[in-house]
Amino acid sequence: MKTLLLATVLATIGQLALTACPSSSGGSGAPWREAGDACYQAVLIPSKWTLARDTCEKLHPGAHLATVTSDMETWHMFNSFRDDVDLTVCRSFFHWIGVTDIGHDDVFKLIDGGDYENWSSFVEPLHKPNQEDCGAISPHTGSWYGDPCANEHCFVCEVAAI
Ligand SMILES: *[C@@H]1O[C@H](CO)[C@@H](O)[C@H](O)[C@H]1NC(C)=O
């Protein structure tokens, strides 16, 4: 039992030591931060949702607007970037993540096809055509809010740790 525990601890340490985030910050000022098995970066440039999505994809090969599949991953994600949030630059509290109903008729999906969700309450997002078609996360609670995609928010990008 003790041996097994020790082996598990060593394996965990080994994993931590072996993975890293890309070093480039992509010019936004905030570095990639490792959390779980992914790296997250708060991009502190208020942008429309589609521009945020495109900007993430240009930051690093395989990078995309952040997506999550579980409470644990959401927890990792928002803990990783919340110290980087700068409300003098971002002007709003919400940060775009990779969730939208664009292209699927008012059904919200993560851009990687996942269906995890953590809306702040049953009234989020507002289900009216072309009203709140994109999703943003609160860096304080980890809960999600719908917002018009044309609004400009800072955003969170993700790339796999390497
Ligand atoms: C999900 O949202 C709730 C509020 O609706 C929040 O209290 C909770 O911390 C969020 N969960 C995660 C994993 O971020």
Residue 139 to residues 58, 61, 80, 101, Cα–Cα distance (Å): 23, 25, 9, 22
Q: Is 93's C-beta closer than 6 angstroms to any atom of ligand 1?
A: no
Give the confidence band of 123 by pLDDT, cuts at 50, 70, 90.
confident
Give the separation between CA 5 and CA 25, rounded to whole angstroms. 37
- pTM for the predicted model, two decimal places: 0.85
Task: Give yes or no for residue 77 CB within 6 A of ligand 1.
Answer: no
pLDDT tens-digit profile of 49-78?
999 999 999 999 999 999 999 999 999 998
Does the beta carbon of 141 sit less than 6 angstroms from any atom of ligand 1? yes
Q: Please tell me the distance from the alpha carbon of residue 106 to that of residue 48, in angstroms, as a whole number.
A: 19
The H-or-E segment that residue 117 falls in is none
| 3-state per-residue secondary structure call for 26-62 | CCCCCCCEEECCEEEEEEEEEECHHHHHHHHHHHCCC
Least confident piece of the model among 24-33, 35-44, 72-81: 24-33
Residue nearest to atom 14 of ligand 1 (CA): 142
- Which domains are delineated in the chain? 22-160 (3.10.100.10)
* Ligand 1 atom having least distance to the Cα of 144: 2
